[in-house]
Structure 1
Amino acid sequence: MSKVTNYINETVEEMKDKVSWPTYPELQNSSVLVLVGSLIFALVVGAMDFVFDSGLTWFYDQF
């Protein structure tokens, strides 16, 4: 049990003293960047899906 307690105490100490936490403005900027990147990725994947769907529909309608 002492190993578990030691592990938890070291983890808490590391999270307090050794981890550099972002400031609130840095966190906001990162969140906006992730949101914009996700939207761009979703639009690209959606466009690819539309093109493939339209192309395959056209192809299958030829037969």
Structure 2
Amino acid sequence: MSKVKIFIQNLIQEVRHKITWPPYHKLQNSALLVLVASFVFALLIGLMDWSLKKAFVWFYNAF
């Protein structure tokens, strides 16, 4: 049990003192970038899904 306690103490110390946290404005920029990229990827996947659906419907109705 003492190993777990030491591990948690070391973990807390590392999070408080050894990790370099980015400034708030960089976090905002990164979050905005992720949001825009997710939206673009969702549009691309939606467009591919729609076009494949139309292609398969055309193909199945042709035969």
TM bucket (normalised to shorter chain) is over 0.9
Identity %: 46
In structure 1, the partner of 2:50 is: 50
Residues 16-50 of structure 1: CA deviation (Å, up to 9, x unaligned): 11111111101100000000000010011001001
In structure 1, the partner of 2:13 is: 13
Runs ≥4 residues deviating over 3 A: none
Instruction: Name the amino acid aligned to 1:2.
Output: S
1:27-38 equivalences under 5 Å are 27-38=27-38
Q: Tell me, in whole angstroms, the C-alpha distance in 2 between the residues paired with 1:45 and 1:27.
A: 27
Instruction: Name the amino acid aligned to 1:43.
Output: L
Aligned pairs, number: 63
Q: Tell me, in whole angstroms, the C-alpha distance in 2 between the residues paired with 1:13 and 1:27.
A: 23
In structure 2, the partner of 1:40 is: 40
* Aligned-residue CA RMSD (Å): 0.6
The answer for unaligned runs of 5 or more in structure 1 is none
